[in-house]
Amino acid sequence: MRKPSKIKLTDEQRTTLTLWLSAGKTEQRLAKRARIILCAAEGLSLKEIAAKVGLGFLSCLKWRKRFMEQGLKGLKDAQRKGRPAVISPEEKVHVMSLACTKPDDSSNQWTTTKLADATGFSRTTVHRILNEAALKPHKIDQWCGKSPDPEFETKQADILGLYLSPPENALVISVDEKSQIQALDRTQPMLPLRPNQAKRQTHTYTRHGTTCLLAALLVHQGTIEGRCLDSHTHVEFLSFLKHLYRKYPQKELHVIVDNYSAHKHQKVVEWAAKRRRLTLHFTPTYASWLNQVEIWFSIFTRDVIRGGIWRSKQELVNQTMQYIKRYNETNAVPFNWNYTGKPLVT
């Protein structure tokens, strides 16, 4: 059989083919085609090239011929037949603008399926358009709205001052209630944690009543005072204040509370006004997040309430009080409060 003529490569072609062959990110099919041409340039026959590259005789013949006719361009895959999937900018904008509105089917948010039905595109296309635009109709973030309290600046400055620079011989105490904590028992035992499988519990449950946790955070010590109560009226709140007042007889108490009606009850205000060592500080309207005990409540919810199972309300109360005791012994540290008073929204 006549040996094929040797392919002559320019310096540029040889450099490019060598790079395609050695580069780690080059597609394997393109690297093999480059190797075919480099072997052909060495004068190897098609049979020898096929054995060395690991492709069939006809494939080697095809790519050798394509290179001789078109050069390096001939080693790339040719454009396939069929209409390319083209979405106009106007169509993309339509999908994106629709995703930013409220659906007309009385639901609150769009899904890719609903958007696909409304626009005529596939779910995959809709997902790609939203992903390119960084739009997530299913996700809702929260932010702190501006308080309508006309005394917001004064009240927040007062509370921040207590956090950052408390008076001498004073205790700064954040107080609030976490109400309606349900003592839920499951109708079947919880299934334990296993590899590749989370803990599992039934959807069906039995209620054993509710309790209210009245808690006080000693801001600069990080410790918690707590009581579990059946109700949370001004009577229980006033009793709790009296307990704190008696427990720290040598300290000036600055108690931070939100605007819950029990905290502003006439009997509470009148009693506090007669106590020289006690001052109530009320957070601005819609700004109870300024009260540090809310941070501790989120920790308590994560550690105790979420996923909890109790066979009675008393069992829930016992676990809550035991948690507070252990928290004070092992985890109690002051929170690093770094809000400086700058507006959270503009």
Strands 224-229 and 205-218: antiparallel
Q: Residue 346: which pLDDT band, with cuts at 50, 70 and 90?
A: very low
Q: How do the domains of the chain map onto residue ranges?
A: 11-75, 89-132, 152-192+199-330
- The answer to which of 73-87, 101-115, 117-131, 168-182 has the lowest mean pLDDT is 73-87
**Mean pLDDT value of segment 170-184:** 94
d(CA 250, CA 126): 67
pLDDT, one tens digit per residue, over 192-224 is 888 888 888 888 889 999 999 999 999 999 999
* Helix, strand or coil, per DSSP, at residue 177: strand
Q: Tell me which residue of 204, 226, 210 sits closest to 297, measured CA to CA.
A: 226
Between 1.10.10.10, 3.30.960.10, 3.10.440.10, 3.30.420.10, what CATH number should domain 152-192+199-330 receive? 3.30.420.10
pLDDT of 189 higher than 90:
no
Q: Residue 104: which pLDDT band, with cuts at 50, 70 and 90?
A: confident
pLDDT, one tens digit per residue, over 286-324 is 888 899 999 999 999 999 998 888 999 999 999 999 999
**Mean pLDDT value of segment 264-279:** 94
**Mean pLDDT value of segment 29-43:** 86
Q: How much is the pTM?
A: 0.66
d(CA 34, CA 14): 9
Confidence at residue 82, expressed as pLDDT on a 0 to 100 scale: 62
Torsion (CA) 176, 180, 181, 182 in degrees, nearest 10: 180
Unique residue bearing structure tokens 């540029």: 12
